[in-house]
Amino acid sequence: MALLEVTDLHTRFRTDDGIVKAVSGVSFELDRGKTLGVVGESGSGKSVTFLTLMGLVDRRHAEVSGSVRFDGEELLGASGSRLQKIRGRRIGMIFQDPMTSLNPVKRIGWQLEEAVLLHHDVTRDEARRRAVEILKEVEIPRADARIDDYPHQFSGGMRQRVMIAMALINNPEVLIADEPTTALDVTTQAQILRLMTNLQQEHEMAIVMITHDLGVVAELADHVAVMYGGRVVEQAKVDDLFVKPEMPYTWGLLGSLPRLDITAARLEQIPGQPPSLLHPPPGCAFNPRCAYAFDRCREELPELRAGAGVVGEGHRFRCHLSDDERARIWEAKKAALQAEGSAA
C-alpha cells in the first residue's frame, strides 16, 4: 500500500465571478522514501492540490471532494484537530518564498521550538536543543548562535534552509516542497536540492517536489505528474517521461527546456495562455494551444490512459491522438532537436 494515495481529488473555489475549478479529478500515489515531481505552469492546480490534502484551503470558500488516504487514514473530512496532529508532525511542508514564509517578528529559534512543542511533550530547553541540532543538519553555520536571530538577518538561501529545518524537525514521513528553489539564485538552488536529497536518504522520507522546472524533476524525482488546467495530463516514471513523452503539452515543456548539449537557435515556446479555471475550454483543456488539436479535442475530455507501444509501466496520459500519430510526431520532434544540435 502506498503511503499517500490521492483519488479523484476535486477542489473548487466559490468566488464572486463564479466557481473556479482549481483541481479536477487528480489521482496519484506516493510510496515511502520516493520522490514525486509535480510539474506545471502557474495556475495548473499543483499547489492547490497539496494545500487541499493538507487541509490548508479555506473551507468557507472551497468545495473539496475525493479521497486522500495517508497511511491508510482518510484525511479529507478529518477533524481539524486530527489534521493538526498530522501537519508538521507526519507531513512537513515548505513553500516557495522563504522571504515571506517565516514570521518576521519572532526569532527563528522560537519558531523552530514551536514546531517541536506543538507535537511533543518536552520542555523548551529540549526543544531548543533539537532546534540547534536540526539547524546544524541543514548546514547553517554557527547554528547555536544564529538560533537567536530574526528571519531578516538571514539570506534567502539560509531562510529556505531554516524552512526545511522547520519542516523536518519532527522527522515527517512526507515532505511537500512547493517550489522550494524558485525564489533562489541558481547556485543556491543546487545547494538546497542537494541538501534535500541528502536529508531524504537519512530520514527515509517521501518528497513531493512541486515545480515548474523539469530540470529539477529530472534530477530528483522517481515519478512525475504533469499538471495542466487542474488535471494530471501525463504521469510516468521519470526516465520514461524524458525518453518518450506522450502528449503535446509535455512535448512543449520539454521543447522549452534550455539544454547545454543542444544549441537551439531559439527555445520553443508554447503559444497562448494557461486556461481560465473559471471558464475552462470544453474538451481537452490544452486544445486552444495545441498544434495537433482536432474536432474531438474540442468536444471530449480525453481520459487518462495507457497506450499501445507506450514505454514503462504506469505511464498514463490524456490525448486523443492515436498511438501512431503520437509516435510519428515525437520522432519528428526528436529528429529536429538532434539536427539542430549537430548543426551547431
Partner 1 sequence: MLYFLIRRFFWAIFLFFCATVIAYIIFFVIPSDPATIACGTHCTPQIIAHVRQSLHLDLPIYQQYWIFIWNMFRHGSLGYSYANGQSVTSILRQDAPVTASLVFGGAVFWLGLSIPIGILSALRPRSIGDRFAMVFVLVGISAPPVWIGLILAYLIGFKLGWTPIATYCNLLPTSGTGECSGPAQWAYHLILPWMTFMFLFSALYVRLIRANVMETMSEDYVRTARAKGASAQRVLFQHVLRNSMLPVVTILGMDIGLALGGAVFTEFVFNLRGLGSQLILSAQRDDLPVVVGVVVFATLAVIVFNFLVDVTYAWLDPRIRLST
Site of interaction with partner 1 (CB under 8 A): 54, 56, 80-81, 84-89, 92-93, 95, 97, 100-106, 114-115, 118-119, 150, 152-153, 163, 166-167
Pick 85 or 334: Cβ nearer partner 1: 85
Amino acid, single-letter form, for residue 81: S
Q: Is 178 helix (H, G, I), strand (E, B) or coil?
A: strand
Handedness of CA 337, 341, 343, 344 (dihedral sign): positive
CB of 142 to partner 1, least distance (A): 18
CB of 340 to partner 1, least distance (A): 41
Q: What residues contact residue 40 under an 8 Å CB cut-off, 6+ apart?
A: 46, 212, 226, 227, 228
- Residue entry with cell 502528449: 247
Pick 80 or 141: Cβ nearer partner 1: 80
CB of 235 to partner 1, least distance (A): 25
Calpha distance 8→67 (Å, rounded): 7
Burial 263-287 (b: 16+ CB within 10 A, else e): eeeeebebeeebbebeebeebbbbb
Rg of the chain's alpha carbons, rounded to an integer? 21
Pick 127 or 310: Cβ nearer partner 1: 127
Pick 60 or 266: Cβ nearer partner 1: 60
CB of 322 to partner 1, least distance (A): 44
CB of 38 to partner 1, least distance (A): 17
Pick 145 or 335: Cβ nearer partner 1: 145
